[in-house]
Structure 1
Amino acid sequence: MKKILIIQTAFLGDVVLATALVEKLHACYPGAQLDFLLRKGNESLLKGHPLLSQVLIWDKQQGKYKSLLQLLGQIRSQKYDLVVNVQRFGATGLLTALSGATTTVGFDKNPFSRFFTRRYPHDIASGTHEVERNHLLIQAVTDAVAAAPKLYPSEADFAKVQPLKAEPFICMAPTSVWFTKQYPLEQWVQLLDSLDNKYKVYLLGSPADKEHCNTIIAQSINTRVANLCGQLNLLQSAALMRDAVLNYVNDSGPMHLASALNAPTCAIYCSTVPGFGFGPLADFARIVERPEPLYCRPCGLHGYKACPEGHFKCAREIRNEQLLEVLALAGQRPQSG
């Protein structure tokens, strides 16, 4: 195979996990042209990626179908040998079916999958990790062993955050798109207030997260906290996370950034569960969740804007000591600095 396209137009974390396909396909076909299609807003994740030839962008703001037609023209002109569609929605299924590629593969949940060369089940209930589920799409042309996701911050990205690494530090990403996947603000404050003063703490997020993190800092007595929301791009954030003593994250995008840089991770699960298959993959990764089962958990695959039951016990009954225990373990590891 000389030309391969991978399609994943979902959220940031989904794109990060799909980079495992890039790693595996490159290992098996080192001379092939590898391209990646994602939606506008996520392209910075793959900036300067050394294994990719082109990053195609679906810009829905230009007009969903206008942009789709432009992409179809681009894709057909490339005459791909293989199109791998990780996305399960119709628009990308149509692109795949009409791509003109020699071989097309995707999940059977895609409404256009009947027109693919091969289609495979996407089974959330099995507990299989998403990286393994995605690998199923290319197993027939590679082998049975999935690769790990990987991102490539540039030398400039690492240089940007190097001054922040002068002393032992912890990163926290307190927010999520979904309220019920987000550890409560007052519990982040409690965690900050109980940390050893030897740690500098960096709060990470987008510009939209800045106010939330400012509120956390204002309510905390910890004077060693800096709000970096909006100051670092995604790859710079990942470059910083790589050398943290520990990264506290929700079940959200920053958790997958940590996985892609093999950064030490404490993943806090509120309304969702690791069994969905989107857990952390770093060598040092621990999951913290409510110790006892809860009748309403999980309440959904992605979460909600508010707790459907009104009590949010899945988050509120996580104990601060659970988080500190993970830090104690992480602190025993040799630090790369």
Structure 2
Amino acid sequence: MKKILIIQTASLGDVILATPLIEKLHHFFPKAKIDFLVKNGSETLLRNHPYLRHLLVWDKSEKKYKNLLELLRFVREEKYDLVVNTQRFASTGILTALSGASYTTGFRKNPFSLFFTRRIEHKISADENGPHEIERNQKLVEPFTDSRLFKPRLYPSKHDDAKVSQYKTRQYITLSPGSLWFTKAFPEEKWTDFVRRIDSDLMVYFLGSEKEKTIIERIIKNSGHANSLNLAGKLTLLESAALMRNAKMNYTNDSAPMHLASAMNAPVAAVFCSTVPAFGFGPLSDISFIIETDEVLKCRPCGLHGKKSCPEKHFRCANRIDVKKLLSCLKN
């Protein structure tokens, strides 16, 4: 294996959960040139990665398929020995099938997997003994590596560390209250209640995109926690990861920040509302806590991904979570 391409153009969390493939393939083929294809917006995660040669970016915002065609031309010219497709969508399936690579591997659910060299099942269920996504991904390369599991890893630069060093002069936690989906987000009033109960001397750094700025301002104001700082929209992804690394605890939803913490092996407490960890997307840090309701709900999980609103109109999977569970994570 001299030239390898890994494909993951889905969400930020999916990209992070594909990084063990970089670690594993570099371990077994240390001289191989490894490239990684992401969608626009995710490239900052892998910037300056020590094991990557090229970071390919598929711009889906404008002229999506014209840009995909240009990527295909580049991929064919590279003549990869191996293309690893971690997605189950037709667009990347076409790219893989037509890549001209000596060996292609992906999941059977991809509509074009029939044309891959190797295809395997991608099994997701609510069974607690089900595999994690990093296990499913690494099964794709198991025939020419081994069955050992490598964990996600990101590489903040010295500049990233320097940017957040000013926030590390005292003990702190981070809190990332946002999510793309309503049913994956712990309610604002619950976060507010939690922050209100935190020791007033403990610094709380709120993380998120510019979109979360307003909700965070409300949480800070209504909680009355003076030692709180809204960093939403002010830090890059890798700067946020660098800040998470030294936190006493990182509080997240079932969302990208949880995976950021895992990639830094930073302590994390992840709140699961409508989704369940058994799907295989839970935290992977050595110190990690899963927070969910104790109530048995027939409607939970209501789907693999989050929804824009609670189908049952009560949102008990979130509202019935006692904030004392979040506080207990600080005592361990």
TM-score range with shorter-chain normalisation? Answer: over 0.9
CA distance in structure 2 between the aligned counterparts of 1:224 and 1:307, rounded to whole angstroms: 33
Normalized against structure 1, the TM-score is what?
0.97
CA distance in structure 2 between the aligned counterparts of 1:218 and 1:310, rounded to whole angstroms: 28
1:226 pairs, out of 203, 226, 229, with 229
DSSP-derived class of the 1:327 partner? coil
Normalized against structure 2, the TM-score is what?
0.98
Match of 1:52 in 2: 52
Q: Percent identity?
A: 56
Offset of residue 220 of structure 1 = 1.2
Match of 1:99 in 2: 99
Match of 1:332 in 2: none
Match of 2:273 in 1: 270
Which deviates further from its counterpart, 94-103 or 218-227?
218-227
Offset of residue 208 of structure 1 = 1.1
Match of 1:334 in 2: none
CA distance in structure 1 between the aligned counterparts of 2:98 and 2:86, rounded to whole angstroms: 16
CA distances 1:35-81 after superposition (whole Å, capped 9, x unpaired)? 00010010000011010000001101231110011000110011000
CA distance in structure 2 between the aligned counterparts of 1:215 and 1:73, rounded to whole angstroms: 49
CA distance in structure 1 between the aligned counterparts of 2:236 and 2:146, rounded to whole angstroms: 35
Letter in 1 for 2:55: V
Match of 2:123 in 1: 123
Match of 1:155 in 2: 158
CA distance in structure 1 between the aligned counterparts of 2:225 and 2:62, rounded to whole angstroms: 45
Match of 1:235 in 2: 238
Letter in 2 for 1:91: S
CA distance in structure 1 between the aligned counterparts of 2:143 and 2:322, rounded to whole angstroms: 45
Match of 1:26 in 2: 26
CA distance in structure 2 between the aligned counterparts of 1:281 and 1:13, rounded to whole angstroms: 12
Match of 1:287 in 2: 290
CA distance in structure 1 between the aligned counterparts of 2:143 and 2:152, rounded to whole angstroms: 19
Which deviates further from its counterpart, 33-42 or 210-219?
210-219
Match of 2:66 in 1: 66
DSSP-derived class of the 1:180 partner? helix
1:132 aligns with 2:130: no
CA distance in structure 2 between the aligned counterparts of 1:212 and 1:51, rounded to whole angstroms: 38
CA distances 1:203-245 after superposition (whole Å, capped 9, x unpaired)? 0000111111111112111111100000000000000000000
CA distance in structure 2 between the aligned counterparts of 1:143 and 1:175, rounded to whole angstroms: 37
After TM superposition, the runs of 4+ consecutive aligned structure 1 residues lying more than 2 A away are none
DSSP-derived class of the 1:61 partner? coil
Match of 2:87 in 1: 87
CA distance in structure 2 between the aligned counterparts of 1:229 and 1:68, rounded to whole angstroms: 32
Offset of residue 292 of structure 1 = 2.4
2:198 pairs, out of 195, 199, 204, with 195
Which deviates further from its counterpart, 56-65 or 299-308?
56-65
Match of 1:335 in 2: none
Letter in 2 for 1:95: L
CA distance in structure 2 between the aligned counterparts of 1:198 and 1:77, rounded to whole angstroms: 58
Match of 1:323 in 2: 326
Match of 1:14 in 2: 14
CA distance in structure 1 between the aligned counterparts of 2:295 and 2:220, rounded to whole angstroms: 30
Structure 2: runs of 5+ lacking an equivalent? none
Say how many residue pairs are matched: 329
CA distance in structure 2 between the aligned counterparts of 1:306 and 1:293, rounded to whole angstroms: 20
Which deviates further from its counterpart, 12-21 or 62-71?
62-71
1:311 pairs, out of 301, 310, 314, with 314
CA distances 1:179-213 after superposition (whole Å, capped 9, x unpaired)? 00000000101010100122100000001111111
Offset of residue 326 of structure 1 = 1.1
Structure 1: runs of 5+ lacking an equivalent? 330-337
Letter in 1 for 2:89: F
Offset of residue 297 of structure 1 = 0.3
Letter in 2 for 1:323: L
CA distance in structure 1 between the aligned counterparts of 2:234 and 2:86, rounded to whole angstroms: 31
Task: Check the 8 A contact 2:292/2:321 in 1, yes or no.
Answer: yes
Match of 2:39 in 1: 39
Letter in 2 for 1:180: T
What are the residue-to-residue correspondences of 1:176-191 with 2, within 5 Å? 176-191=179-194
CA distances 1:139-191 after superposition (whole Å, capped 9, x unpaired)? 01100112101000000000000110100001000010000000000010101
DSSP-derived class of the 1:124 partner? coil
The RMSD of aligned alpha carbons is: 0.7
Task: Check the 8 A contact 2:295/2:320 in 1, yes or no.
Answer: no
